[in-house]
Amino acid sequence: MKSNKESTFTLSAPNHVGMIMDGNRRWARKRLLPRAAGHRAGAKNVVPIVGCAFDCGVKIVTLYVFSTENAGRSEDEVTALIDLIRDQAKPMADKLIEIGARVSYAGDRSYFPQDVRDIMDEVERRNTNPDAPLVNMAMNYSGRSEIVRACALAAQSGNVTQESIERNLYTAGLPDPDMIIRTGGEKRLSNFLLYQAAYSELFFTDTLWPDFNTAELKSMFEEYSHRTRRIGR
């Protein structure tokens, strides 16, 4: 049975949570491991954290997996990251589907090699239940590029309004994130969900992403449930 404390935040759990999963390389450096080991450890933490968020009542999790700017890292690191995405995308989606979720991808996927894009398309085709909780993975994602693209598409339709721009964002049809969590100590958005984060509650922790755990996540949900969201009113 759930404790009173747990049910308090379950009642007012955020609907949509964005997660900036930062700190993988520092986690590896602390252990004298190669960067790729940090990224692997980070990938391993995704299913437990997302699973906990869903158990707490969250319906949508948008994960910042790879930013457009990350493509400017060293060739070795970018190759390691793309290899990891290639290796992990399907098994991770399998595990998420097993816990009842569906998976989608946000961002400019034309950057990725065809075989990686094929995996993304295949995973998205498995989304048969529109009511299942959603894991939305931001891959080669840039908030600014997303806004420019959405404005251009809206202009093409001859109708530039907030609604027409929102219809052309990668998050079209999804509610804005209620809460954005950033691990790894930095206090910035780094081009994540710039348009959508207008009224998101921001949470920062020094914990490096591979060390971020369900206890800390739940304590953030607890704090979220006590925040007053005025949305300008």
Q: Would you tell me how many other CB atoms lie within 10 Å of the CB of residue 66?
A: 23
Binder of ligand IPE out of 8, 145, 190, 214 (CB under 6 A): 190
Tell me the catalytic residues. 22, 70
186 binds ligand IPE (CB under 6 A): yes
- Total residues contacting ligand IPE by CB under 6 A comes to 17
Are 162 and 150 in contact by the 8 Å Cβ rule? The answer is: no
Distance between first and last Cα of the chain: 37
Q: Which stretch binds ligand IPE (CB under 6 A): 4-12, 64-72, 115-123, 162-170?
A: 64-72
Q: Is 163 helix (H, G, I), strand (E, B) or coil?
A: helix
140 binds ligand IPE (CB under 6 A): no
Q: What is the DSSP string of 64-99?
A: EEEETGGGGS-HHHHHHHHHHHHHHHHHHHHHHHHT
95 binds ligand IPE (CB under 6 A): no
221 binds ligand IPE (CB under 6 A): no
User: Which one of Mg ion, ligand IPE, none interacts with residue 182, CB within 5 to 8 A by kind?
Assistant: none
Q: Which amino acid makes up residue 148?
A: V
What is the closest distance, in whole angstroms, from the C-beta atom of residue 66 to ligand IPE in the complex? 5
Are 135 and 61 in contact by the 8 Å Cβ rule? The answer is: yes
Interface positions with ligand IPE (CB under 6 A): 20-26, 64-67, 70, 81, 184, 186, 188, 190
